[in-house]
Structure 1
Amino acid sequence: MIEVTVIRNKSELIQSFTISGHAFFAKRGKDIVCAGVSAVSVGAINAVHALTGVTPLIEQKEDGFLSCTIPDQLSDEANAKVQLLLQGMIVSLQTIEEEYGQHIKITFKKQEVE
């Protein structure tokens, strides 16, 4: 199962997200759940960088792990754009979860310390 964890700060802003695991919907190369999650998440990160100039801290591994952390101290304008793009990513992932919930789970958490 693909596990997505979205961490929001006390102000409800998305601070980071991680994606790990495998969907096991189909064989490697034919797994539309995995492909969809990958396209949506990597596309969102690319959009954040291209459209806002913000470079998130990214960690990616070959086993399907992806971590993205938004830098602190962004201007209000940049942060609003980043948040909109990441919220769009979440909506897309939730759409995948609605159809393929046995292969992907999204969890939301609050950051303990800011």
Structure 2
Amino acid sequence: MIRAAFQRDDCGRIVSFAMTGHSGYATSGQDIVCAGVSAIAQTAIGSLQELAAMNPDYRLDDGHIACHVTYPEDAEHALIGSSLMESVRIGCIQIQDSYGKTYLTVIDE
């Protein structure tokens, strides 16, 4: 099972996410749950860099993706960054709703 955990700051913005584990939905290379979660997370990391002009601290390993952000003072880029981080959570919840908590569990701390 994949565990997707999200942490928030005092303003309620997501400041980090970590996805750990393998879903077990299908064999490696055929697992749509793992592929979906990985694609969402990696797209968000690239989008934080390109669209929000942020430099996220991230790690991509087999069975583990983590990302931590520090929001910029610039309100526009901070809003873009916050929206991108929320989109990761929303995408994971949609996958969880479609495939079940047996394969993906989302934790919003």
State the 4+ residue runs in structure 1 displaced beyond 3 angstroms: none
In the alignment of these two chains, the number of paired residues is 108
CA separation in 2, counterparts of 1:95 and 1:33?
11
Correspondence list, 1:1-40, <5 A:
1-40=1-40
TM-score, normalised to structure 2's length?
A: 0.92
Distance in structure 1 (CA, Å) of the matches to 2:47 and 2:16: 15
Does structure 1 retain, via aligned residues, the 8 Å contact 2:54–2:72?
no
In the alignment, the residues of structure 2 paired with residue 98 and residue 92 of structure 1 have an alpha-carbon distance, to the nearest angstrom, of 10
Structure 2 distance, partners of 1:66, 1:43, is 12
The range that moved more, 80-89 or 28-37, is 80-89
- Quick one: distance in 1 between partners of 2:97 and 2:74? 34
Moved more, 22-31 or 52-61: 52-61
TM-score, structure 1 length as denominator?
0.89
Give the % identical residues. Answer: 28
* AA of the residue aligned to 1:83: S
Give the letter for the 1:28 counterpart: S
SS in 2 for 1:94: helix
Where does the alignment leave 5 or more consecutive residues of structure 1 unmatched?
Answer: 110-114
Task: Tell whether 2:99 aligns with 1:71.
Answer: no
Give yes or no for contact 2:19–2:65 (8 Å, CA) kept in 1.
yes
Please list every run of 5 or more consecutive structure 2 residues that lacks an aligned counterpart in the other structure.
none
